[in-house]
Amino acid sequence: MTRHTPTRHHATAGLTAAAVAFLVGCSSGSSTPTPSSAASQRTTVQSAASTSATADPAPVLAAYRGYWAARVKAQAAPDQPPPAELDTYAEGAARSDVVTSLALFRRQGIAFRGEPALSPVATLTSGGTATVADCVDSSRWTPVFVDTGTSALAPGQPLRVQVDSTARLDQGRWMVDTSTAHRDRPC
């Protein structure tokens, strides 16, 4: 049996808390998260001025919410393979970030309980791309150490952070390609 000295344990806990603080902001993070109230389901949409069907941001927002639903599902059980829905809604860096986060959470014995509240705004850009700006509220989506049930959230971590994502049209389907949390931009 290996004993950890208090200094090593505190250093490991500090690194874990710092990593979780970064990843909570990225949480990135299922089927669409089911917000607890109709108000949290409110989605604001801005689009490029156009009357064509391709200018409709609703499919972008559906893909974005699907990405988050998959992320929430994955981070609730990081010891399981990523859900198939992740491949339906995410590619590139967005998908890789979720998979990398899961590996870290698995090693550190961390899982997330609850779900975040989303309030995305999609803007269609040229060439089958879009941006999504969101203020992700993780006050009801908490990282915990599975063995003890205690919080793994870093002290001082803002619970509402700006998340900027990009999506692109891939073979007729919108996919989230990048998703970046800005911990220095509480919202």
Q: What pLDDT band is residue 54 in, cutting at 50, 70 and 90?
A: low
Tell me how far apart the alpha carbons of residues 109 and 42 are, in angstroms, rounded to a whole number. Answer: 34
Whole-angstrom Cα Rg for the chain: 17
Backbone conformation region of residue 157, classed left if phi is above 0, alpha if psi is from -120 to 50, else beta: beta
Q: How far is CA 56 from the centre of its chain?
A: 23
Q: Considering the entire predicted model, what is its pTM?
A: 0.74
pLDDT in tens, 103-140: 999 999 999 999 999 999 999 998 899 999 999 999 99
Show the tokens assigned to 16.
């874990």
pLDDT in tens, 139-150: 999 999 999 999
- State yes or no: pLDDT of 17 exceeds 60: no
Q: What pLDDT band is residue 170 in, cutting at 50, 70 and 90?
A: very high
- Residues 108-122: b if buried by 16+ CB within 10 A, e if exposed: bebbbeebbbbbbbb
- Residues 81-106: b if buried by 16+ CB within 10 A, e if exposed: ebbebbeebbbebbbebbeebbeebe
Domains in the chain, start-ordered, CATH in brackets?
7-186 (3.10.450)
Q: What pLDDT band is residue 55 in, cutting at 50, 70 and 90?
A: confident
